[in-house]
Amino acid sequence: MSHSEPVLAIGAKEIPGDIAIWILIFAELFEFGLFFILYIIAKAHNPELFHSGPLLLSQNAGIANTVILLTSSFFVAKAVRAIKLGQVIQSRRWLWLTFFCGVAYCIVKLWEYHFNELNGIGVETNLYFSVYYYLTFNHLLHVGFGLAGLLWVILRSVFGAYSAEQHQGLEAAACYWHMVDLAWIMIFPLIYVMH
């Protein structure tokens, strides 16, 4: 076995990225899991607030961000596929598209916060909105981390760091980005749909 193979590939199928990124992903999912449990408990104790809260939010912003993140996940999967085929330039193009989707997500989210502010909604409006800001701002921070990771991977790609044989770092950044999307898949129905 060569030294470049991932640790968990021993006697089993490979893991995408490397073990370090999966430890980080599970730590992040654990953190989000605590937020989700907090949401479930808060909603059970305050059904009226959690019934009326989603109706005051911009559904369009929530839908737009869902479409953007799902599309970005598709783009980053295409980037990984392209690098596995040795198509370095195509892979980088898909990574840029993913990055722009992430930026678009941030713009929509900041517009949504501004929209809330115009409607007199803030962190201290009520418990529903405290949970809403807690969850969505935390997620926004993770989108920021994901964007930084993508930018780093794009720069490394420019300097020829990745190839069909060696693309562990690119795949690790892609896995982190998918985690950001998965967290949103859970947040979207909680915040915008289930009223």
Partner 1 sequence: MIENKVLIGVWLVLLLCTLVSVLMAERADFTVISAVLVCVIVVIKSRLVIDYLIGLKFAHPRLRKVMLGYFYLIPLLIAIGAVRPDWIVAMTSLH
Residues that bind partner 1 (CB under 8 A): 8, 12-16, 22, 26, 29, 33, 36-37, 40-41, 43-45, 47, 54, 59, 63, 66-67, 70-71, 73-74, 76-78, 80-81, 84-85, 174-175, 178, 181-182, 185-186, 188-190, 192-195
User: Which CB sits closer to partner 1, 65 or 116?
Assistant: 65
Shortest Cβ 193–partner 1 spacing (Å): 4
Shortest Cβ 117–partner 1 spacing (Å): 23
CA distance 7 to 30: 23
Shortest Cβ 77–partner 1 spacing (Å): 4
CA distance 188 to 153: 28
DSSP annotation of 189: I
Helix or strand holding residue 163 (H, E): none
